[in-house]
Structures are given as C-alpha cells and as structure tokens.
Chains A and B, each alone.
Chain A
Amino acid sequence: MSKQITVPFGPQHPVLPEPLHLDLVLEDEKVVDVIPTIGYVHRGLEKLVEKREYTEYVFIAERICGICSHIHGQTYVQGIEQIMGLEIPERAQYLRTIWSEYSRMHSHLLWLGLFADSMGFESVFMNSWRLREHILDDLEATTGGRVIQGVCKVGGVRKDISPEKLDEMVKGLRGIEHELQDLTNVFLHDSSIQHRLKGVGVLNKEDAYYYGAVGPTGRGSGLAIDIRETGYAAYGKINFKPVVEHDGDCYARCAVRAKEMFTSIDIIEQCAKKIPDGPVDMKVTGAPDGEFFARAEQPRGEVIHYIKGNGKKNLLRHRVRTPTFTNIPPLVTLLKGCDLADVPVIVLSIDPCIGCAER
C-alpha cells in the first residue's frame, strides 16, 4: 500500500469561488477520502428572525443567497401566507413565477461560465456572463435590482410589469435564444469538453437517492424530482417537463443545467401569455400563528424554509435547508476514487453555494 497524504483544498482556491474546505486524503493521485468543513461565512441570519418583524424579514431571507435571492424571499413569504391562510392575487403568482425563472436562467448562465473557467475555457466564461447581462438588465428594469430583486412581500409582490414590457422581455429572450444555443452547443458537443466531463464523477441513481441529492445533481443521475411540479406559485398552470439525464457524470449535470435554460424561456413565455389582469398585492393584517414547511425549486435544487410563529410580530423560529447543504454528502461520495486533477470540476459540478448553506 502506498503512503497516504492529505491535501487541503479551499476555502480560498483559484478555481473554487466558494469558501468550502475539503481535506483530500490521497493515495498517489487518487482521492480515497474527503472531509468537508464549512463554517467560514456563517452570519446568523436565522437567529435574526427573532429581532425583526415578519414583514421586514423578507429582505433578510432574500439575502441568504446572492444568486437565488428571489426564490429564497418567495419561499419565505409562501410559508407565511400558508400559515396566515392568505390567497394572494393570481397576477402576483404569475409575476413571482416569471422572476423565479429569470433568476434560474441567470444562475445557470453564471454557473456555466464558472464551470468553463474551472476547465480553463475562459472565453466561454466571458461569453456566458455577457449573455447573463441581458437577463440581469431585464431583472433590473422590472424589479429595480440586478441580483437582490426585493420584490416579494407578504401578500403579493411590490412591482408590476406592464403588458408591453412583458412582450418586450419575451421577444428579448427569443432574440438571445440562438446565442444561448451556440453556448450550450459548446458544452454539449465540443470534443475537448466531453473528454473532460464524460465519465468523471459518476453518481448512480441509488446513491443519489440515498444521499439525498437534489436539483440538477439528482436530475443528472436520473432522479426525476422537481419541486416545481408540485405547482406552487403559478407552476400548476404551466406545462413543462423537468430535464432529466441518466448518466450521472459531470457531463449529465452540465447538460441538465444547459437544457433547463430553454425550459425557463418556455415557462416565461407561457406565463406572459396566461397572466391575468388584476391587483398584485393585498392588505395583510395580523401575524402568523402556526408552523409550516415551505418548499421551492431553486436553480440548485429544493429549498425548505421552516417557519414557526406564535401570533406576534416576531417569529419564533426560521430554519432554512438549502440545496447545497443536502448536496454535500453526494459530493463526498463523488470525490472518492477520482483523480486530484478532477476535483475542481467535480466540486463545481454540484454548483456549491456555501453562503446559502451556512446562512
């Protein structure tokens, strides 16, 4: 048996944009064991719920993550609305869906760029971020914020989109669709990328289920779990199919994300067609009394917000289980047995967001 050595990886590493620390136990070039450590960016946002009113906390819930910010805020207000038994206007539901899909696209484009960068493909990194700018411009024009949208509130949304702007947005998305196609073609058909990704970091379906993989990590392994299918917000009225790949390697996870962007464009177009007229918010009185588990599908997977209130302005407990947190055990499984050179690609292939995972 050869000698084992331990190589620290992260929290600061040239290709890893997240403060995740991995102790890689190596035998020659093979990784035999991985010990993950988190705890570098803990901010105590869950505790803050006791100090802020439940209506103000939406803004804090949004700041849990810098990428899926809108969906965090949306899940939190969905939980509050369920406890209080509020039936929010249908237009607000559709608007939330549109903005969720926009944030999914911007997250996936960001991830594709970072993923290309981790393989040393820097021009694709810049091209995907250039396309992402189009999405961010639309988000800013409709909500006021590029990354932190701040449009969700208990009982609806804070901003409305005019029908002309909606048309313009759909046309704009259809306009960049062929550019997106060009970009995803690089990821799906380029031989050097296939050589780098195919067969690397294979997670089979049983392991994915057993270790609780969510989102594209699970769907890349053939687990057809997509919380959007439960029909929260306006997803119940939209026709779409979750993208599922069966290989379970880095290429499959990449393909799921690349293809999901086109599903998002479809969903936005359907929403723009079906969106009814009417108010976008309602007056809310009282405070939540009860508890609820709110679930939603983020770009990275399923997020759960547990909310417990006792009829006062401040909530008793707020607990978030983010997709990255659940994807760390599958990541450890993935890394065992791989080469040291493949570690950055495999870690990035689950789209880690440690800021989310630690709150």
Chain B
Amino acid sequence: MTFFEMTKTVLKSLFTRPATLMYPAKPAKKTPLSRGHVSIKPEGCITCRSCQRKCPTQAICVEVKEKTWEIDNMRCVVCGVCVDVCPTKCLTMETQYRKVLTARGARDKFTVAGPKKKEPVAAEAAKPVKE
C-alpha cells in the first residue's frame, strides 16, 4: 500500500545520515585518482619546461635563468598533463582541492633546483685520478 511505502521511506530517511557533507569543515570525499590540485617538489625540478609546453591553458610559466616555476591557479584546469609529462616526477597531483582564495591573484611561485650541474659528474670522474 502506498501509505506504508511512504512510511518506509520516512523511517529510512530518519535513521540514515544525511547524503551531503559539511564541506569545507569536513574534507571532501576523495579517491586516490582524484584530481585536486597540482603541487611541486622544488628540489626535483630541472626546468625542462615540458609542463609549460604541454599545458593546454598555459597556466605554467618556467623561468630557466631565474630558476623559478610559477603556476596560475586560476588558469589551471587540473587536467594532469603536466604530471604525466614531468620527466623527474617532481610534479604530483594532490587529491584535495586547493584552499579557497581570499585575495586577487592565485599565482604560486617556487624557486627550483634547476638543471643538474655537470661538476658532480666531473668530480666523480676525477676521483680515480686522485687515488
């Protein structure tokens, strides 16, 4: 009967938790594959600019001379291409969304390690000579 069907629904709704989540007080429900935002480990970046070339929205700007890596978070569409092409895997995809902005501009600038110096290799090559 329709009346009892409705009672069933009402009782079910009374004793189950709400389907919604109090975001941002509680973190959003995320899976390991979720694309939240891009983050960088500055010590791993070799300023090869692959991410800058492949970015479909031109959100990433790498300055080779100044050794900086900059992302415009308002341009970034979190497609994950930069993470896929990064040769040193210093770019990673975080599963949680970026924090809410409270001011204009969402550029994050990092000073990065830059290309590996040739000296350590030369020093290692020179080692046997020293011995």
Cβ < 8 Å to A, chain B residues 2-54:
19, 29-31, 33-35, 54
Flag whether A94 is at the interface (Cβ < 8 A). no
Interface size class of B (residues with CB under 8 A): 10 to 19
Interface residues of B in 74-118 (CB under 8 A from A): 77-81, 84, 93
Complex Cα–Cα for A52 and B55 (A): 10
Instruction: Give the residues from 123 to 165 in chain A that come closer than 8 angstroms, CB to CB, to chain B.
Output: 130, 133, 137, 140-145, 148, 150, 158-159
Distance from A81 Cβ to chain B, minimum over Cβ atoms (Å): 19
- B33 in complex: contacting residue of A60, A141, A148, CB < 8 Å: A141
**Residues of chain A lying within 8 A (CB to CB) of residue B19:** 130, 133
Closest B residue by C-beta to A133: B19
Q: How far is the CB of B1 from chain A (nearest CB, A)?
A: 15
Asked if A187 is at the interface (CB within 8 A of a chain B CB), the reply is: no
* Neighbouring A residues of B33 by C-beta, 8 Å: 140-144, 159
Cα A323 to Cα B98 in complex, Å, equals: 35
Kindly identify which residue among B31, B54, B57 contacts A140, using a CB–CB cutoff of 8 Å.
Answer: B31
| Interface residue SS majority, chain B | loop
Complex contact B34–A144 (CB within 8 A): yes
Complex-state Cα separation, A27 to B55, whole angstroms: 55
Given A63-B77, A158-B84: A52 and B31 interface contact (C-beta under 8 Å)? no
Residues of A145-203 whose CB lies within 8 A of B: 145, 148, 150, 158-159
Provide the residues of chain A in CB contact with B54, threshold 8 Å: 56
A36-80, CB < 8 A from B: 52, 56-57, 59-60, 63
Report yes or no: A59 in contact with B77, Cβ–Cβ below 8 A: yes
B79 CB contacts on chain A under 8 angstroms? 59, 150
Q: Which of A56, A63, A145 contacts B35, CB < 8 Å?
A: A145
> For residue A58, which residue of chain B has the nearest CB?
B56
Q: How far is the CA of A302 from the CA of B93 in the complex (A)?
A: 35
Residues of B within 8 A of A148 (CB): 77
> A130-B19, A137-B29, A159-B33 known; A144 and B56 CB under 8 Å?
no
A–B Cβ pairs within 8 angstroms, 29 of them? A52-B56, A56-B55, A56-B56, A59-B56, A59-B79, A60-B56, A63-B77, A130-B19, A137-B29, A140-B30, A140-B31, A140-B33, A140-B34, A141-B31, A141-B33, A142-B33, A144-B34, A144-B35, A144-B80, A144-B93, A145-B34, A145-B35, A145-B78, A148-B77, A150-B79, A150-B80, A158-B80, A158-B84, A159-B33
Binding site for B on A (CB under 8 A): 52, 56-57, 59-60, 63, 130, 133, 137, 140-145, 148, 150, 158-159
Interface residues of B (CB under 8 A from A): 19, 29-31, 33-35, 54-57, 77-81, 84, 93
